[in-house]
């Protein structure tokens, strides 16, 4: 299964990609997670990416395309992959098409998660992430342990730097302007599957799986 998860900031791409990874036994390729790791490690790419990310701007296309091109060549992508947060612009979508053609691979589906703006803001402001294992939480919808630690590993939960209200607004605007048009592009390619992302997490998961199986 080779799929793209498309959706606004907070739509549930990361949450659903983690579940699909287990379900289909294929890797989650999150450009956001890879860039955050680079920022933490203070690699040259991380140092450059940090300012874009903290202000909610997109990192230049050439940088993310390079990351994804390398990642897709690794062995664990042979059976499939879930792209989470890539592509985000038409040039990225065009570059992905070329990379996949070079690797003789074809996308199966592009899943678009639909969530209202108000719900997106509530999700992002309540989001927390385990500093140790990376598991995602929400203070209301996916609560951590009673003492506020990670239910899987007991790690400390942190809040993403770009989850402040101003930056969230900027991310949403950029999504509308540059990424949302990709829905029409993938519809015209016959790949788009639209899923209601407003339901509870396990229900959204089931609906994605059945939509993928019948597409
Ligand atoms: P990225 O990390 O991709 O951020 P994003 O697209 O803004 O999306 P999020 O990760 O914020 O949301 P999500 O959809 O994964 O939601 P989640 O599952 O966590 O990118 C960050 C930055 O990196 C970008 O701004 C840019 O600078 C750079 N970047 C990354 N990729 C790039 C690219 N391709 N090109 C250029 N720059 C790039 O869920 C959110 C919360 O809601 C969680 O708390 C979760 O528990 C909760 N939740 C999830 N589902 C539900 C549900 N059904 N009901 C209730 N709560 C739910
Ligand atoms: Mg995410
Ligand atoms: Zn943890």
36 an active-site residue? no
Assess whether the C-beta atom of 15 lies below 6 angstroms from ligand 1: yes
CA-to-CA separations, 139 to 26, 117, 124, 136, in angstroms, rounded: 28, 18, 10, 10
CATH number of 2-117+165-214: 3.40.50.300
Q: How confident is the model at residue 206 (pLDDT cuts 50, 70, 90)?
A: very high
**pLDDT value of residue 190:** 97
Tell me the ligand closest to 156's alpha carbon: 3
* Cα of 37 from ligand 2 centre, angstroms: 13
Q: Distance between CA atoms of 64 and 115, rounded to whole angstroms?
A: 25
CA–centroid distance, 132 to ligand 2, in Å, is 17
Question: What's residue 210's pLDDT?
Answer: 96
**Can you give the residue ranges of every domain in the chain?**
2-117+165-214
What atom of ligand 1 comes closest to residue 86's alpha carbon?
Answer: 34
Question: According to the model, what pLDDT value does residue 207 have?
Answer: 98
Residue nearest to atom 12 of ligand 1 (CA): 10
* 8-19: pLDDT as tens digits: 999 999 999 999
Cα 81 versus chain centre, distance: 12
Question: What whole-number distance in Å separates Cα of residue 128 and Cα of residue 14?
Answer: 12
Using DSSP, how many helices (H) and how many strands (E) does the chain show?
9, 8
- The finding on whether 144 has its CB within 6 A of some atom of ligand 1 is no
In terms of Cα–Cα distance, which of 176, 172, 135 is closest to 155?
135
For residue 144, name the pLDDT band (cuts at 50, 70, 90). very high
Tokens standing for residue 69: 């091109």
- Helix, strand, coil content of the chain in percent (nearest 5): 50, 15, 35
**Residue 122 CB–ligand 1 contact under 6 Å:** no
pLDDT digits (tens, 9 = 90+) for 34-81: 999 999 999 999 999 999 999 999 999 999 999 999 999 999 999 999
Tens-digit pLDDT profile for residues 68-116: 999 999 999 999 999 999 999 999 999 999 999 999 999 999 999 999 9
Confidence of residue 20 (pLDDT cuts 50, 70, 90): very high
**Interval between CA 129 and ligand 3 midpoint (Å):** 8
């Amino acid at each position: 299964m080779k799929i793209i998860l498309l959706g606004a900031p907070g739509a549930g791409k990361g949450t659903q990609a983690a579940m699909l990874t287990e379900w289909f036994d294929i890797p989650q390729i999150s450009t956001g997670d890879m860039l955050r790791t680079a920022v933490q490690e203070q690699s040259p790419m991380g140092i450059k990416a940090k300012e874009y990310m903290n202000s909610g701007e997109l990192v230049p296309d050439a940088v993310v395309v390079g990351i994804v091109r390398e990642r897709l060549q690794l062995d664990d992508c042979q059976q499939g992959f879930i792209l989470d947060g890539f592509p985000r612009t038409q040039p990225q979508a065009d570059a992905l098409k070329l990379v996949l053609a070079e690797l003789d691979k074809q996308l199966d589906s592009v899943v678009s998660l639909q969530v209202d703006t108000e719900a997106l803001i509530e999700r992002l402001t309540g989001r927390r992430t385990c500093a140790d294992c990376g598991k995602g939480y929400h203070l209301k919808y996916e609560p951590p342990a009673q003492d506020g630690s990670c239910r899987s590993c007991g790690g400390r939960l942190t809040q993403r730097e770009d989850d402040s209200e101003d930056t969230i607004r900027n991310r949403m605007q950029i999504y509308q302007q540059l990424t949302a048009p990709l829905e029409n592009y993938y519809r015209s390619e016959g790949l788009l599957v639209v899923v209601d992302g407003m339901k509870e997490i396990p229900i959204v998961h089931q609906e994605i799986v059945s939509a993928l199986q019948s597409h």
